[in-house]
Structure 1
Amino acid sequence: MSAFDTTLSNLGINRTTTPPVSTAAGGQSLGQNDFLKLMTAQLKNQDPFAPVDNTQMVAQMAQFSSLAGITEMSTTLKGIADKLGGTSTADALAYVGHTVLTEGATAFGRASGGIAGAVELDGDTTSLNVSISAADGTVLKNVQLGAHAKGTVEFDWDGKTDAGTDAGPGPFTVTAIAGKDNVAVTSRTLVWAPVSSVTIPATGPAQLSLPGIGTIPVTAVRQVG
């Protein structure tokens, strides 16, 4: 039991089992002012033949100082969080009309043909293959990217099939197979998609609507084009 708990116990208060009482203002009854009142009451009612030990007094004052610091820090952090939340909302609204790179398997062709994207690797690979298929599942192109270190590997497809014909505008399905010495390496594909709309919920991050992918939180955006 800490020195502060001992002080409360001596005054008939069990901090560990008695829930804090809410005041009319919605605060906790054991705040900084109450701490000082309890300490003052302890000093007034101490046994003159057995005064409070100096070590205990120092420990209690240290706890009071820590409580004050934590309260101030909490207020500061809340202010920062509110500010960042407002900035994120403004940034989210600016995404409309832009394209973003995010995790997904469906991609639409560029005006110039083909698609660009990336693969996130959770480990080093000796082989990495990106397969691009039509909506009906027909494989149009296999892009061999070879060996790569852990991280993000970009790819760019010109829109031509393995047979050399134009694959059209899509949509296309993108999959990746990564391995190291015949052992699979976890990976995920990243595709570019236009932002059609933004939803800002009461709580949590803003949500972006992407054709072919669905709704994603703004925190899932890897890059903005």
Structure 2
Amino acid sequence: MTTSTFDTTLNSLGITNPSTASATAAAANASTSSTLNQSDFLTLMTAQLQNQDPFNPVDNTQMVAQMAQFSSVAGISQMNTTLSSIATKLGATSATDAMSYVGKTVLTAGNTAYARSSGGIAGQVSLAGDATDVKVTITDQTGSVLKTLSLGAQKAGNASYDWDGTTDVGAAAGNGPFTVNVAASNNGTTVGSTSLVWAPVESVSLPANGNPLLTVTGVGQVKLSDVVSVG
């Protein structure tokens, strides 16, 4: 802060202006923060008024402009906070929205699948990268392999498959539950892969944090954000 003629005169007499010391302390405190709030602004403005040169006071027009500018910035900051809260509320899924999933079938990460009414299952393999060979192995509850599907080369992303419910020897596999395991490689190098299965939603629970969880048959509790698709 610029030293006024009044302060210079006091200093020459060996007297420290108490207001100047307060202003210096306020400025030091303000420097520890990356932003100035309304309280900081009022403290600095008061210090400016207390330490202004009585022969050259702060121009009223400039002071009003400063106050108007700060008021505008403070208003914008408050508005941003309010809009952020509204956006969070709108983005959140309500209990009513979550309840609408009950009775529907969702596609989500899992390894347990049940047969459709027409027999067999459908699902997807989520690939972290391009693959030259993708395989889906379906086993029964005892771990015996029922069917191995070869999806061939697939690009990164989700690759779909559909099993008609017959085993490798042509017999009917039954209603399950089935265990689905996926594997992918790119010219011998393993590619990250995740099994996505279709399963019915049994119920919805509301934990203390307020984020609904779907109870999915054979999968367990699933976040709404983990649902890839709804059937």
TM range (shorter): 0.7 to 0.9
Structure that is richer in helix per residue: 2
One-letter amino acid of the structure 2 residue matched with residue 127 of structure 1 = D
Alpha-carbon distance in 2 for matches of 1:11, 1:166: 86
Q: Label 1:51 to 1:163 Cα distance change in 2 as closer, same or farther (>3 A).
A: farther
TM-score norm. by structure 1 comes to 0.79
Deviation, 1:82, is 1.7
Q: 1:78 aligns with which of 82, 85, 108?
A: 85
* 1:8 and 1:15 in contact (8 A); partners too: no
| Structure 1 residues not aligned, in runs of 5+ | 1-6, 19-29
Aligned partner (choices 196, 202, 209) of residue 208 of structure 2 = 202
Identity %: 41
Is 1:160 the counterpart of 2:166? The answer is yes
Over the aligned positions, Cα root-mean-square deviation in angstroms equals 3.0
1:115 is aligned to 2:128: no
Instruction: Supply the distance in 2 between the matched residues of 1:94 and 1:124 (Cα, whole angstroms).
Output: 36
Alignment of 1:14-29 (within 5 A): 14-15=29-30
Change (3 A) 1:36 1:15: closer
| Matched-pair contact (CA < 8 Å) for 2:110–2:219 | yes
Q: 1:17 to 1:112 in 2, by over 3 A?
A: same
Say if 1:185 and 1:200 are closer, same or farther in 2 by CA, change over 3 A. Answer: same
- Picking from 135, 140, 156, the partner of 1:134 is 140
Structure 2 stretches lacking a partner, 5+ long? 1-19
Please say if 1:44 is aligned against 2:49: yes
Structure 1 stretches of at least 4 aligned residues deviating more than 6 Å after TM superposition: 49-52, 57-64
Partner-residue secondary structure (3-state), 1:126 = strand
Q: 2:43 & 2:21 partners in 1: Cα distance?
A: 8
Aligned length: 204
Per-residue Cα deviation, 1:114-157 (whole angstroms, up to 9, x for no partner): 00000000000100000000011000000000001101001000
On the 8 A contact 2:22/2:47 being kept in 1, the answer is: no
Cα distance in 2 for residues equivalent to 1:9 and 1:187: 64
CA 1:138/1:59 → structure 2, altered by over 3 Å: closer, same or farther? farther
The CA deviation at 1:194 is: 0.5
SS, match of residue 97 in structure 1: coil
